[in-house]
Amino acid sequence: MDRDEGLTALDNIVTQFNTYEDFLDSQITTVDLYYLEDEGLARQLVELGYRGTGEVVKREDFEARKAAIEIARLAERTQKKTLTSAGKDLQDNFLKALAVREEDNRNGKVSTVIFIRDRNSHGQEVSGYIDYAHRLKIEDFEVYFSEKRRLLPKPTDMSFYNWNSHIAVWNSTPNYQVIADNPEGLLFKYKRDRKILNVDPKASPGDNSTRTPIQTELYIQAVIFDHISRRKT
């Protein structure tokens, strides 16, 4: 039996029985109990491989695999809970696009940069680039997916520009280094693989990156850039 088959067999056992003692009891026959007259001794003989009707499974292997399966189950449940878009009846294309990308941005498979241009609560036109993965970590997106608030660029985002006051701000994030002094326009360097993301609509977005304009009723303009890191970890 190879390693994968062994793990599959062990998984079947640990999911079938709550405790190692329950597994041992399942291997004991009425004949064993008749001759041994001691359930504890019968369990010991099964554990040592001298008695039993199936595979020999060590206690430490059973308990280690049981713990690993439980950890994986809890991790999966936690991951599902952290997806704030889950279960939402999203109508707008922009929110749908964010929901599709939420899990991959949380686990680092994809890094998404969001460009938004619209008017703020004061009626001023603002625009900017948002590091989606970073905002997911520091902010509760429940209010956005439930449409209680609109996602807008902030002066603390990767870039922010107020078209009325002409205030322009750039900030590097844990994921991106902002290159604001480039003569051809704003660039973002993804820190994990050091690839450049070019947000100029007339240029290619760069290696392993895509640019997707979003038709939305929520904003004047919305564009999503997706970057997939090829760096091996």
pLDDT for the residue numbered 1: 46
Q: Which two tokens stand for residue 45?
A: 């003989």
pLDDT for the residue numbered 229: 82
pLDDT for the residue numbered 56: 67
Q: What are phi and psi for residue 215, nearest 5 degrees? A: -80, 110
pLDDT for the residue numbered 36: 59
> Cα(11)–Cα(145) distance, rounded to whole angstroms?
38
The 3-state secondary structure of the chain, one letter per residue: CCHHHHHHHHHHHHHHCCCHHHHHHHHCCHHHHHHHCCHHHHHHHHHHCCCCCCCCCCHHHHHHHHHHHHHHHHHHHHHHHHCCCCCCCCCCHHHHHHHHHHHHHHHCCCEEEEEEEEECCCCCEEEEEEEHHHHHHHCCCHHHHCCCCCCCCCCCCCEEEECCCCEEEECCCCCEEEECCCCCCCEEEECCCCCEEECCCCCCCCCCEEEEECCCCCCCEEEEEEECCCCCC
The answer to whether the predicted template modeling score (pTM) of the entire model surpasses 0.75 is: no
pLDDT for the residue numbered 99: 97
pLDDT, averaged per 10 consecutive residues of the chain (233 residues), comes to: 55 75 65 57 60 66 81 68 86 97 94 97 96 96 95 97 95 96 91 95 95 97 93 51
pLDDT for the residue numbered 67: 85
pLDDT for the residue numbered 69: 80
pLDDT for the residue numbered 113: 98
Q: Which two tokens stand for residue 206?
A: 């760069």
pLDDT for the residue numbered 74: 74
pLDDT for the residue numbered 2: 47
Residues of the chain with pLDDT > 70: what percent? 76
